Amino acid sequence: MMGHRLRLTLIATLAGISFAVPLRAEEAYDPWPGLVQDIFNNRPMNDGNDVIGIEMPYRAEDAAIVPVTLRTKLSPGDARRIRSITLVIDRNPAPMAAKFELGPDANVSEISTRVRVNNYTDVHAVAELSDGQLYVSKTYVKASGGCSAPAGKNAEEAQNHLGQMRYRQFAREDAPASRVREAQIMIGHPNNSGLQMDQVTQLYIPAFFINQLKLTQDGSPVLSMEGGISISEDPNLRFTYVSNGARRFRAEAQDTDGHVFRNEWDVEKPGT
């Protein structure tokens, strides 16, 4: 009996070792150096903690709609400006979630959106400044399965709302003394990742998402986004910018099927 128990204990121990080793190897693997090569052509990365901030929940409630906020941290006296911010979710199937180009005169200081997170992962924000240098900050998020999570709307409902846009503004304590505005753009779109399965046919739904978004005030660039499969269903951007006195705000979006969606609003009367 003792020999039988010993054999069982030994088998269990060896089984634990065989499963534990690959797990530790997976946890130890860091995809970031390869992503720096693939996405940024191995350009040098500087510490960006005083340049760009990234905020996400440490443990996400819903991996398919994880909030993320990017915030510029340059001091007012810094002569440089941020030209672009690239959001990279290291362990997602398509790690580059989005690249934001900031209008040269719009002084965008904060961008918030929602993303899918597929595995426990580091998330990097890389800012390119007007001096041509790259600056990086990162955070860590515990979430899994976001890229394959079923859509919140059925296909018919999603089609009925395809391309519908809303523009909102939010009151600020410093207004009207300041020209700083806080606004939000929302676009009806399934933003299918290509990894979601149709619950009826059991077939994968083809990738179909907003890949371009441009926002302007009376023709002057405010913010543009190059998006990927990691941007959540019904994309929305909330951001701060400085008004140039424009009376009209315009949005133009394009998806991977070539659909183009446009809308514009009176700045003083935002809405659908």
pLDDT, position 202 = 87
* Res. 8 pLDDT band, cuts 50 70 90: very low
Q: What is the pLDDT of residues 38-93, one digit of tens each?
A: 999 999 999 999 999 999 999 999 999 999 999 999 998 999 999 999 999 999 99
Give the residue among 71, 128, 104, 108 at the shortest CA–CA distance from 220. 104
Task: Find out whether 137 and 49 touch, Cβ atoms under 8 Å.
Answer: yes
- Cα distance between residue 242 and residue 214, in whole Å: 16
CA–CA dist 36, 44 (Å, integer):
9
pLDDT digits (tens, 9 = 90+) for 207-247: 999 999 999 999 999 999 999 999 999 999 999 999 999 99
pLDDT above 80 for 176:
no
Q: How confident is the model at residue 272 (pLDDT cuts 50, 70, 90)?
A: low
Residue 177: band (very low, low, confident or very high) from pLDDT cuts 50, 70, 90 = low
